[in-house]
Amino acid sequence: MNCEHFVTKLKYGKPMSDQVKSVVNSALIAAQILQFIGKHPKPGDLIEFQRVGYQHWAIYMGDGDVVHLTDQDGKSSISSVMNSSAVVRKDPLEKVAEKDNYRVNNKYDEKRKPLPTEKVLRAALEKVGKRMKYNITTENCEHFVTQLRNGRSFSDQVKNVMTHVTAVATVLLSAFAVFMFIKPITYISLPAIAWRRLLK
């Protein structure tokens, strides 16, 4: 309760505050603006599509189109893993998204300044229709678009997977080492225990 609530309760018998309404309305408007920005990219922006278990990436070209590294049908870059190659396609953003959520995500701009938009778009268009080598850890769709926008390839999803794999491997190796250490002690200790019992 603020001072406005206090005085309106005294006068009208009910606490009211236009200040609170104003703050709430401002927050709602801000949320709508953020949603609008997220769904309405500018040419050269990176678009992150939330697929099941991974993210697909594209670069926005304007007029509702994106350029992305994908399979022949433009459905998924993951299927390119089997062939070790993928094709660069220009497709409508909504077609690429299908029912998946997507957002503008230029997060790598903090690491490396983006190239001029015209240069990014020109480079992307020059690659449309070309078949390219595909490697999930070094040359995936995220690497492709970050190279275009930032002049250097990045892929946090690969880095995150590698971090998890390393963590799991460390745990497994540690467990194995502990098991191998305890096992010899058990073999050595059992005869000693048996020997003590014999001496009693």
| Residues assigned a catalytic role | 56, 68, 141
Tokens encoding 84: 């070790």
* CA atoms of 55 and 174, how far apart (whole Å): 32
Phi–psi pair at 88, nearest 5 degrees: -90, 125
- The helix (H) or strand (E) run that includes residue 174 is helix 156-199
Please report, as a single letter, which amino acid is at residue 1: M
* CA atoms of 120 and 102, how far apart (whole Å): 21
Strand 46-50 and strand 65-70: the pairing is: unpaired
CB-neighbour burial class of residue 79 (10 A; exposed 0-12, middle 13-18, buried 19+): middle
Contact 28, 20 (CB under 8 A): no
Phi–psi pair at 57, nearest 5 degrees: -125, 145
